[in-house]
Amino acid sequence: MIGWLGCKTTHTSQNLQLAAEWTRKIQKTLAVVAAASQRFSGWFPLHRLLVILLSASFQTTLFQPTLFSVEMRFSTLSLLATVASAAFSFAAPLTPASNALEARCLCQDIHSIIVDVTTTITPIVEELTYITSENCTVEILTPIVEELKVVITTAITEVKGLTGFTLTTVLTTVDGVVLTIAEVAELLCELLTLIFGALAAILRVVTVSEAVAVKALLCEVVELVATLLQLICNLLGGILAILLTLVGDIVFSVIVSLGLSAKFSFFNISWATVSSTLIASTSTIGMEAAVRR
């Protein structure tokens, strides 16, 4: 190729410089393609075809050494080489390291999901602190409840997306820290306390006239929470046993008050034999609601 360029004594200096520049570019590309063909034997015929095409282009007697034709010919060859090189890149097999990187890109970790939910619903449940017996109505609560449902539903979808990934991938935070199951249980407990604490506050102030409709509204939230919890428990073996030792009576009280113990059957506890403290707490919620008839 260089010899061919040198023998064309009629070429202008500008043509020679342009040709030399494109020659170097194509040689570099060929080196990449050659290296790729050694790694991927199945692509070897394509590599050989590329070399043949390039060689034929340089040896053809039909080539007219004008500045325009030099530029167009070398541009075409460079494009061909680039396309072939790109094909090798797309065909590259995944290594364990790239698999791990792909896992981090295609899914969230459980830490991010729980923290995001907690952060997002915190200002929402704060709105419930302004609810009193006078304004505790379905009309007032529905927009707030709908916001909660959207956030929890999104989290459910994200947790489902973690299925199939390794436990390490699921437990590894965006900062590269691998959490323990106990640490995840603590995060989950914080989220549950936030949600059920807000719902308990509503149950304490709702009047008898609004109780049925309001409870039905709150049940929609708790049912979604049950789905989210069960997905997480299925994903992280052993977390349920830890979680049950962390959550306060307020969680169980709200579940019982709304008659949703069946939705939490995966807790594997006897709802008929709950502690006296739990029964007292549940009764208190009901009595406070009855007083506000």
Q: What pLDDT is recorded for position 111? A: 97
CA-closest candidate to residue 253, choices 181, 212, 203: 203
Please give the chain's pLDDT, 293 residues, in tens: 444 444 444 444 455 455 555 555 555 554 444 444 443 444 444 444 444 444 444 444 344 444 444 444 444 444 444 444 444 444 444 433 334 444 444 457 999 999 999 999 999 999 998 899 999 999 999 999 999 999 999 999 999 999 999 999 999 999 999 999 999 999 999 999 999 999 999 999 999 999 999 999 999 999 999 999 999 999 999 999 999 999 989 999 999 999 999 999 999 888 776 545 555 554 555 555 445 54
User: What is the b/e burial string over 197-235, where b = at least 16 CB atoms within 10 angstroms of the residue's CB?
Assistant: ebbbbbbbbbbeebbeebbebbeebbbbbbbbbbbbbeb
Q: How many CA atoms lie within 13 A of 6 on its CB side?
A: 3
Spatial separation of the C-alpha atoms in residues 138 and 291, rounded to whole Å: 19
Confidence at residue 108, expressed as pLDDT on a 0 to 100 scale: 78
Which stretches within 92-180 are classed as H helix? 96-106, 110-127, 138-160, 167-171
Pair 206, 292: CB distance under 8 Å: yes
**pLDDT in the model for residue 129:** 85
For the chain, the domains span: 2-91, 97-291
The reported pLDDT for the residue numbered 274 is 59
Q: Which of 79, 216, 69 lies closest to 138 in space, CA to CA? A: 216
DSSP output for 199-211 = HHHHHHH--HHHH
Cβ proximity of 255 and 183 under 8 Å: no
Look at residue 272 in the predicted model and tell me its pLDDT: 76
> Using CA atoms, how far apart are residues 213 and 90, in angstroms rounded to an integer?
57
